[in-house]
Amino acid sequence: MNQNQFQVGVIKPVECMKEAWELIKPDYWLLFAITIVGAMIGGATMYILLGAMMCGMIFCYLQRIDGHAVDFNGLWKGFQWWLPGLIVGLIMFVPMFVVYLILYVPFIAAMVMGSKLSEGELMGLLGGAFAVDLVVIIVMVCFHTLLMFSFPLIVDRNLGAFAAMRLSARAVWKNLGGVAGLYGVGFALSLVGLLAACVGIYFVIPIILAGNMLAYRKIFPALGQSNFPPAPSSFENAGSYR
């Protein structure tokens, strides 16, 4: 199989999440530790190492999904893809922070000018800011969804940052129904985690991440082999982006 080919129509969200849990269950606590440590390092370094940590985490999850042994040292393998990981991370997360910084300006203005504005003017300002905020959230979720396979493609296919993002967007678009359903299941698991004294969210993150990585592997079977049933439709040729 060409490294830029992918399958269509192979994601069944609930079954995918259940299968992912069964696959990672033997190494759940190890993957939990890898995920938490990777996230902490990525955040503590002002996201400079977030891409490398994401690549390391994904390497470990794909190792488990492909039936290989998982080792904590796999997290550090992410440094092999530090530069493309950094580029993807910056493109995914920096715009979000910039937009939210801009969106907070109306709220700051409302606080400063609160005594000078009438109640109607204040409510109008806050209502407008909330509406814009909602639109931005929807746009950012769609944008991040299209790029959700970028890090796995960097690790698994050794693609550059922009090639990985283009191929991810194409594959997600062609599997939009299944990916959207997977996001819905992940959101439901997140709510369950939040209900468990809020800290439960940390314990469902490995399951959600494993579900996403299993979805990736179903869409992009391991090179040289196909571990999953053939797709209902033929392979979708994504073209070469090198």
Secondary structure class of 80 (helix, strand, coil): helix
Residue 236, φ and ψ in degrees, nearest 5: -100, 115
Q: What is the structure's pLDDT at 116? A: 64
* Residue 48 counted as domain residue: yes
* Residue 7 counted as domain residue: no
CA distance 230 to 10: 8
What's the pTM value of the predicted model, to 2 decimals? Answer: 0.82
pLDDT in tens, the chain (242 residues): 677 889 999 999 999 999 999 999 999 999 999 999 999 999 898 778 999 999 999 999 999 999 999 999 999 999 999 999 999 999 988 777 777 777 666 666 666 665 566 667 667 767 777 777 788 778 888 888 999 999 999 999 999 999 999 999 999 999 999 999 999 999 999 999 888 777 888 999 999 999 999 999 999 999 865 444 443 333 344 343 33
* Residue 64 counted as domain residue: yes
Q: What is the structure's pLDDT at 53? A: 96
Reference 121, options 39, 184, 225, 129; nearest CA is 129
Q: What is the structure's pLDDT at 234? A: 35
Give the total number of structural domains in the chain.
1
* Residue 234 counted as domain residue: no
* Residue 78 counted as domain residue: yes
Q: What is the structure's pLDDT at 130? A: 76
* Sign of the dihedral defined by the CA atoms of residues 221, 227, 233, 235, in that order: positive
Helix axes 176-195, 119-146, angle to 10 degrees: 120
| Domain that residue 199 falls in | 12-224
The tokens of 87 are what? 């580029």
Q: In the predicted model, what is the mean pLDDT of the chain?
A: 85
The tokens of 211 are what? 């579900």
10 Å Cβ neighbour count for 32? 16
